[in-house]
Chains A and B, each alone.
Chain A
Amino acid sequence: MSDHDHDHHHGDHDHSELSETELRVRALETILTEKGYVEPAALDAIIQAYETKIGPHNGALVVAKAWSDPAFKKALLEDATKAVGTLGHVSRVGDHLVAVENTPARHNMVVCTLCSCYPWEMLGLPPVWYKAAPYRSRAVKDPRGVLADFGVALPKDTEIRVWDSTAETRFLVLPMRPEGAEGWSEQQLAELVTRDSMIGTGFPKRPGAPS
C-alpha cells in the first residue's frame, strides 16, 4: 500500500473537510485527464447512465412480470439472468443474477457484510444504509431487529433467510404479491414494487394505500 498519510484527510466532518475532498477529487480527475487515461466527457456519460438507465424500476418490472406470468416466474427462479434477458424493456443484466422467492413460510433478505455488493442493474446504486456499518454488521446476526428498524414485523414462525453476497452472484428478492391487485396489468403492479421489498427490508405497497 502507498504510505501517504490519510490522517490529513479525514476527521472533522465540517464544511472545510468536504471542500478539501472536493478539491482532491478534482485534482485527480485533472491528472487522469492530462495523462490521457480518461476523457471527462466519458465520465459525464457514465454518471448520466447511472442516473437514467438503472434503478429499481428495472427490478419492479421483473417482479411484476413474475407476479403475472407463472412461466416467467419459474424461469426467473431457475436462472434469473437468462429470464431477465428475455425482457426487451429491461436493461441487460450481467451473469449470476439469482432471484429468491418470499413465501408465507419464508422471508429473504440480502446483505453484503464485506462491502456493498448489490444488483445494480435491477435496483440501481445502493442506498447509504445498505453500505453502512449498522446494516452490514447486524443483518446476519439480528435480522428481525434490523427489520424492526424499517418498521417491518414478520410472524414469529416465519423463517428468515439472510443472503450474504460474498461473491459475484447478485440477489433479487421476489416479494409476495399483495392482495387486492387482482386483474392489474404488469405496469400497474410494478408501481407497487418498492426497492426495499426487493432487498427484503420492506414489503410491496398495498393497492389503494397512500404512496
Chain B
Amino acid sequence: MNGVHDMGGMDGFGKVEPEPNEPMFHAEWEARVLAMVRAMGAAGAFNIDTSRFYRETLPPHVYLASSYYKKWFLGLEDLLVDKGFVAESEIAAGHATRSAKPLNRGKFTRDDVERIMVRGKFGRAALAPAKFKPGDRVRAKNIHPVTHTRLPRYVRGHAGVIERVQGCHVFPDSAATESGENPQWLYTVVFDGAELWGADADPTVKISIEAFEPYLEIA
C-alpha cells in the first residue's frame, strides 16, 4: 500500500539525530511489547509480514506521531483483535473474559525462547527457474498494490540492473494477507542515483533494493 511507512526519498523529516549511549529500551513497556510480538508470532498467531502490514495500516497521523514500539503495540492489538485471539471487550476490561482461540504452535513457554533468537528461514524450493540473471536490465513495475508490498514507491517505473540472485523466498505480498507463501525469486537490483532522483543527483550514488520477481520486467 502507498502508505506513510514507505519513506524512501521523502523530504522534510529533518536531521538524523543519533542518541549517545542509547539504551536498548527507553521504557520497560517497550521490552514487554517486543517480547509479546515475538512470542505471539512464534506461537503461530501471525507471520512477520502480517505484523508489518498491521503497522503500515495504522492511520498516517498515528504512524508518524508514535514511537517505534508504540507502533508495534498498536499493530499487535489490532492484529490480535482481527484474528480473534483477543476481544475488544477484553482490552477494555483489561482481563480475559472469553475462551482462548487455539494457537497453531501452542502456548509460548520458556522452552521456546532459544529457537526464536535465530531468525526464521525464508528460503524455499523454487517452483520455476529464475527469469533474470546478473547483468540483466530490468524495470521495477509501475504497480500500486493496496495491500502489503515490499516494492518501495521510489523505484517504481525505474530501470536498474540485476546484481545478485538471492534465491527463492517466501513472497511477503502473499504471506501478509495469509494467502500462502507463494515463493518467488529474489534479486538485488541496483539503480543509478540519476535514474531515481534526476539529473542533479549525486553521480557517485547507487541504490539497491531486494526485489521479488513479480515486481520486475525486462527493461
Interface, chain A (partner B; CB < 8 A): 1-2, 4, 6-7, 9-11, 18, 21-22, 24-32, 34-39, 41-47, 49-51, 53-54, 91-96, 98, 111, 113-116, 120-121, 124-125, 127-129, 131-144, 146, 149-150, 156-170, 196
Which of A47, A128, A156, A161 meets B68, CB within 8 Å? A128
- Check A96 against B8 for contact (C-beta < 8 Å): no
Residues of A within 8 A of B118 (CB): 91-94, 121
- Check A128 against B19 for contact (C-beta < 8 Å): yes
User: Which chain B residues numbered 129 to 153 have a C-beta less than 8 Å away from chain A?
Assistant: 150-152
Bound complex: CA of A9 vs CA of B16, how far in Å?
Answer: 26
* Given contact pairs A6-B62, A95-B119, a sample of 10 additional A-B residue pairs in the complex whose CB atoms are under 8 Å apart: A1-B78, A2-B88, A37-B40, A46-B35, A50-B24, A93-B119, A111-B8, A113-B9, A140-B8, A164-B207
Given A46-B38, A161-B206: A95 and B122 interface contact (C-beta under 8 Å): yes
Contact with A along B156-177 (1 / 0, CB 8 A): 0000000000110110100000
Bound complex: CA of A69 vs CA of B9, how far in Å?
Answer: 39
Residues of A within 8 A of B76 (CB): 28
User: Which chain B residues numbered 52 to 101 have a C-beta less than 8 Å away from chain A?
Assistant: 52, 54-59, 62, 64-66, 68, 70, 73-74, 76-78, 80-82, 85-86, 88, 90-91, 94-96, 100
- Check B122 against A129 for contact (C-beta < 8 Å): no
Residues of A within 8 A of B178 (CB): none
- Check B110 against A41 for contact (C-beta < 8 Å): yes
Bound complex: CA of A211 vs CA of B71, how far in Å?
Answer: 35
Q: How many A-B residue pairs have CB under 8 A?
A: 284
Residue B31 CB within 8 A of the other chain = yes
Given A22-B29, A165-B210, A166-B211: A38 and B43 interface contact (C-beta under 8 Å): yes
Query: How many B residues face the partner with a CB closer than 8 A?
Result: 101
Distance from B136 Cβ to chain A, minimum over Cβ atoms (Å): 18
Interface, chain B (partner A; CB < 8 A): 5-11, 13-19, 22, 24, 26-29, 31-36, 38-40, 43, 45, 52, 54-59, 62, 64-66, 68, 70, 73-74, 76-78, 80-82, 85-86, 88, 90-91, 94-96, 100, 103, 107-110, 112-114, 116-123, 150-152, 154, 166-167, 169-170, 172, 186, 188, 190, 196-197, 202, 204-212
- Check A134 against B68 for contact (C-beta < 8 Å): no
- Check B22 against A128 for contact (C-beta < 8 Å): yes
Bound complex: CA of A50 vs CA of B151, how far in Å?
Answer: 30
Supply 23 A–B pairs (Cβ within 8 Å), ascending by A.
A4-B88, A9-B74, A22-B28, A25-B73, A26-B29, A37-B40, A46-B35, A46-B113, A47-B32, A54-B117, A91-B117, A115-B56, A125-B34, A128-B22, A129-B16, A134-B14, A134-B16, A137-B10, A160-B204, A160-B205, A164-B8, A166-B152, A168-B122
Which of A9, A32, A41, A196 meets B40, CB within 8 Å? A32
Residues of A within 8 A of B122 (CB): 95-96, 167-168
Distance from A31 Cβ to chain B, minimum over Cβ atoms (Å): 5
- Check A2 against B78 for contact (C-beta < 8 Å): yes
- Check B209 against A164 for contact (C-beta < 8 Å): yes
Bound complex: CA of A31 vs CA of B95, how far in Å?
Answer: 5
Distance from B182 Cβ to chain A, minimum over Cβ atoms (Å): 14
Residues of B within 8 A of A142 (CB): 202
Bound complex: CA of A133 vs CA of B7, how far in Å?
Answer: 7
- Check B34 against A46 for contact (C-beta < 8 Å): yes
Distance from B187 Cβ to chain A, minimum over Cβ atoms (Å): 9
Given A1-B78, A131-B68, A134-B15: A46 and B116 interface contact (C-beta under 8 Å): yes
Which of A131, A138, A170 meets B13, CB within 8 Å? A138
